[in-house]
Structure 1
Amino acid sequence: MRALPAVSAALGLLLALAGVVVFAVANRSPAEFGWTSYAPLEPEVYDSSLTSAFTDRWTVLWTGGHLVGAALVVLGLLILAGVGGWLLGHRSARGADDPDA
């Protein structure tokens, strides 16, 4: 029975780390926007000095890989929080029953 919290904590840690890796890999791969078409702008209307919002290196375009990675991180952290709460509750309950504590 003592192995269950350790196995659960290891599973939570592995899920969180796997989520970080999946998110990082998805962040490096090119995003699919699908097919788009537009009419070219007139040369006198076009202003090349405008900057895009996507030039910031911290901007993330969320793809399916990003969502899977974020979900794995959240699931892993929830498992770790559950194990931590169980261990704290188990420790305090054991201390309450022990008259020498």
Structure 2
Amino acid sequence: MTTVQHPKVVVIGAGSLFFGRQAIWQMVHSPILNTGTLALVDTDPARLDKMAALAEKVIAHNGVPLALEAANDWRDVLPGADFVVLSFANQTVKY
């Protein structure tokens, strides 16, 4: 059995207000995942910046060693990924 000690999770479509927040919360509050890396990806730079700023605050507030990466192009963060989550839509809700 193979175990991943410091998993890297890439979330494509992380700029979603609904899914992005939930992905951050799950990573921070999981004792297995919060020792790894969360890579947020979204093609909308403004949305990505908001989610990355939120993630930084949540990580700091909870005092976990979760590393954070953010990119507009998934190819920049995919190397080394243990898990990739796709969450994007053709039309999205603007917030």
TM exceeding 0.5: no
TM-score (norm 1): 0.23
Q: Which of structures 1 and 2 has the larger relative contact order (alpha carbons within 8 angstroms, sep 6+)?
A: 1
TM-score (norm 2): 0.24
Question: Which protein is richer in strand relative to its size?
Answer: 2
